């Protein structure tokens, strides 16, 4: 059993599973004809129902969170981040979207400094600057116009980084299933409010439309929810076992998987700018995280 291994080794298993499932989930969203908001609503509502049933029939789990304010902040920001991921992956090449998504690891040290009181030395500041240069190279704003999906991907990465910091604190006492429950609830409510108000005060265009579901759509959501459930569980489980700094380098496996998906499924070849930007971002992030590998977890959820 995996739980018999050291915590960091268990965390590696869960984070690798998470990254593989994340790319599969984004590829499914990219290849679907359904609007982005509808995909997120159906996915989140299904996870909300599933986790609610798990908590109801469990003798150990509860609906009560130990930190309601932080939980609300985490799920609200995380909801916008996940919607942003789906939107950006739909309109960008998968390799480019994944490269820009690596900025989450570059934003994490800033949030850690602001909210977790972690120190940032001269070496870390230099690495951050190099990483941000990598972002500019990947976007390449000099020779072409800055596209909206690129900006949305950067915002989604910032939301994701903030959600990771919140989740790291919450998993000290709250179970992964409870975090998934509130995440599914929050996204369902936020997107549900949009559909109620749609056409009156807000409208985000084609990605906010609602398409009548067919049997093929139901099959699609069955697979998507399965992938999304275990992706989200493995993500929270990994961060409940090990520190953010230790797990950050494993994010790079997404670039390999997304590049394969780009070539085989979507016939997209990564640009030179994307490759060079990825090298700069990965190099700087590796420097930021290598010193944290042997540290003991600061927060660890115990049943």
> What residue ranges do the domains of the chain occupy?
6-56+65-290
Whether residue 85 has pLDDT greater than 80: yes
Per residue in 18-73, pLDDT (tens digit) is: 988 988 999 899 888 899 999 999 999 999 999 999 999 988 889 999 999 999 99
Whole-number pLDDT of residue 4: 46
Query: Based on the number of CB atoms within 10 Å of its own CB, is 303 exposed (0-12), middle (13-18) or buried (19 or more)?
Result: exposed
31 Cα distance to chain centroid? 19
pLDDT, mean of residues 153-160:
89
Q: What is the pLDDT of residue 111?
A: 74
Banded model confidence at residue 289, pLDDT cuts 50, 70, 90:
low
pLDDT of 63 reads 92
Structure confidence at residue 151 (pLDDT): 87
d(CA 168, CA 165) in angstroms, rounded, equals 5
Q: pLDDT tens digits, residue range 263-288?
A: 777 777 777 776 777 777 667 666 65
% of the chain with per-residue pLDDT over 90: 26
Average pLDDT, the chain: 79
- Distance of alpha carbon 279 from alpha carbon 276, whole angstroms: 5
d(CA 58, CA 183): 19
Range scoring the smallest mean pLDDT among 56-65, 113-122, 178-187, 216-225: 113-122
- Tell me the HSE value of 267 on the side-chain side, using a 13 A CA sphere: 0
Q: Pick the residue with more confidence: 10 or 221?
A: 221
pLDDT of residue 301: 44
Assess contact for 35 and 206: CB atoms under 8 A.
yes
Give the model confidence (pLDDT) of 94-147 as tens digits: 877 887 887 776 677 677 677 666 666 666 677 667 766 776 676 665 555 667
Residue 188 has pLDDT above 70, yes or no: yes
pLDDT at 172: 80
């Amino acid at each position: 059993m995996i739980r018999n291994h050291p915590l960091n080794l268990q965390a590696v298993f869960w984070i690798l599973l998470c990254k593989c499932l994340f790319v599969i989930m984004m590829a499914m969203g990219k290849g679907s004809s359904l609007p982005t908001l509808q995909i997120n609503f159906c996915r989140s509502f299904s996870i909300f129902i599933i986790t609610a049933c798990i908590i109801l029939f469990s003798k150990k789990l509860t609906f009560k969170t130990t930190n309601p304010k932080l939980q609300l902040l985490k799920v609200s920001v995380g909801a916008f981040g996940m919607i942003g991921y789906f939107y950006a992956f739909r309109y960008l090449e998968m390799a480019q979207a994944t490269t820009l998504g690596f900025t989450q690891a570059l934003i994490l040290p800033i949030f850690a400094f602001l909210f977790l009181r972690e120190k940032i030395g001269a070496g870390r500041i230099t690495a951050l600057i190099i990483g941000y240069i990598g972002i500019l190279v990947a976007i390449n704003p000099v020779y072409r116009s800055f596209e909206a999906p690129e900006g949305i991907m950067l915002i989604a990465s910032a939301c994701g980084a903030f959600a990771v910091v919140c989740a790291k604190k919450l998993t000290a006492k709250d179970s992964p299933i409870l975090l998934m429950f509130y995440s599914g609830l929050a996204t369902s409510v936020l997107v549900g409010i949009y559909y109620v108000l749609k056409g009156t005060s807000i409208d985000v265009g084609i990605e906010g439309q609602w398409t009548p579901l067919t049997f093929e759509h139901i099959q699609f959501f069955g697979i998507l929810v399965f992938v999304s459930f275990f992706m989200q569980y493995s993500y929270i489980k990994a961060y409940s076992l090990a520190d953010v700094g230790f797990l950050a380098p494993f994010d790079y496996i997404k670039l390999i998987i997304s590049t394969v998906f780009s070539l085989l499924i979507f016939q997209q070849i990564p640009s030179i700018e994307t490759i060079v930007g990825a090298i700069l971002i990965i190099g700087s992030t590796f420097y930021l995280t290598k010193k944290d590998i042997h540290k003991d977890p600061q927060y660890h959820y115990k049943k």
